[in-house]
Amino acid sequence: MAIRALVTGAAGFLGSHLTDRLLAEGYSVVGVDNFSTGVWQNLAHLTREPRFTLLEWDICEPMERRGDPGRVDFIFNLASPASPQDYLRLPLETLRTGSLGTQHALDLALRYEAGFLHASTSECYGDPLEHPQKEEYWGHVNPVGPRSVYDEAKRYAEALVMAYHRTRSVDTRLARIFNTYGPRLHPTDGRVMPNFLMQALRGEPLTIYGDGSQTRCFCYVSDLVEGLLRLSRASEHTPVNLGHPREITIQECAETVLEVTGSHSEITFAALPEDDPTRRCPDITKARTLLGWEPAISLRDGLERSLEFYRNWAG
């Protein structure tokens, strides 16, 4: 019988790609979403897929109120606003989803003795003082700043997942995901890649926040999904970094987007958001050793693969 997976956040960027991959691997998938940041269009191609079911459910509501999805073998818990613009607009929802929502998803895993993978984040490292970031690093997070609604929800969720593993024997995994991009990353959700791509394609100025010297590492979505799948099949319970190890400045990111799109847009500078991390780079030794995983797609290649999606939006 096919493995039955439940994906929370299935209508989002990563959730919809993961759903596609699981279906391609022969799983049947129950997608769960409350459409707070996700969109129907991301799953529209699955309306006639008999192995896919969609449940409109806010995971902060107890499952019993929504109706039990039935036995599931594995839960991928991806539900959470993820873009700074979204979590600053939805601060209480973000905290509730990371805490209460994650607990409901863990209770479901407990009930069905299902495996569990939680989508955590490089934000757990905050504005890191150690570089690159290894999983053992405890991070440098402002617990009361504007980003804390996301960072602390994610850190609490990690503690909760480990407690369910240690005290309830739930078979859990923690993926610390670094910046990921690709088609379906919503063109208006405010993250840097969709912003720069849409601006470049429309001939509008690219808006660098701060002086552009801050760094990030960008992983293409299919590489990231491969990492999630491999981690789901491994039995490692402590966090594993998943991200591209090539670090670039936001200035370089803007210039690469201009090159790939062939755009003549200018670059403009705007205020740096409060607590915007200065640098980010994953040490992926653990993922390489444990999962035999590393990203295969370069930034240029990934941007080229994303162009058609953003061209359709840019009009």
| Footprint of ligand NAD (CB under 6 A) | 8-9, 11-15, 32-38, 58-60, 78-82, 86, 97, 101, 119, 121, 177, 179-180
Whole-angstrom distance, CA of residue 197 vs CA of residue 199:
5
Distance of CA 264 to the CA centre of its chain: 31
Residue 180 interacts with, from ligand NAD, ligand UDP, none (CB under 5-8 Å by kind): ligand NAD
**Residue 154, both tokens:** 């994610």
- Amino acid 14 reads L
150 is catalytic: yes
Please, what's the largest Cα pairwise distance for the chain? 57
* Closer residue to ligand UDP, CB minimum distance, 31 or 243: 243
Residue 118 interacts with, from ligand NAD, ligand UDP, none (CB under 5-8 Å by kind): none
Window 117-136: contact mask with ligand UDP (x via CB under 6 A): --------------------
Sign of CA dihedral 102, 230, 224, 186: negative
| Smallest distance from ligand NAD to CB 187, Å | 11
Q: Which residues ranging from 193 to 252 are in contact with ligand UDP (CB under 6 A)?
A: 195, 207-209, 214, 216, 250
* Closer residue to ligand UDP, CB minimum distance, 58 or 123: 123
Selected from 247, 255, 275, 276, the binder of ligand UDP by CB under 6 A is 276
- How would you class 220 by CB atoms within 10 Å of its CB: exposed for 0-12, middle for 13-18, buried for 19 or more? buried
Assess 191 for contact with ligand UDP (CB under 6 A).
yes
Phi-psi region of 169 (alpha: psi -120 to 50; beta: other; left: phi over 0): left
* Closer residue to ligand UDP, CB minimum distance, 86 or 93: 86
Residue 80 interacts with, from ligand UDP, ligand NAD, none (CB under 5-8 Å by kind): ligand NAD
Quick check: helix, strand or coil at residue 142? coil
Contacts of 119 (CB under 8 A, 6+ apart): 9, 14, 76, 77, 78, 80, 175, 177, 228
- Centre a 10 Å sphere on the Cβ of residue 221 and count the other Cβ atoms it contains: 23
Whole-angstrom distance, CA of residue 279 vs CA of residue 252:
14
Annotated catalytic residue: which of 112, 125, 150, 181?
A: 150
Do 127 and 140 meet the contact criterion of CB atoms below 8 Å apart? yes
* Closer residue to ligand NAD, CB minimum distance, 46 or 177: 177
What are the catalytic residues? 150
Residues that bind ligand UDP (CB under 6 A): 84, 179, 191-192, 195, 207-209, 214, 216, 250, 273, 276
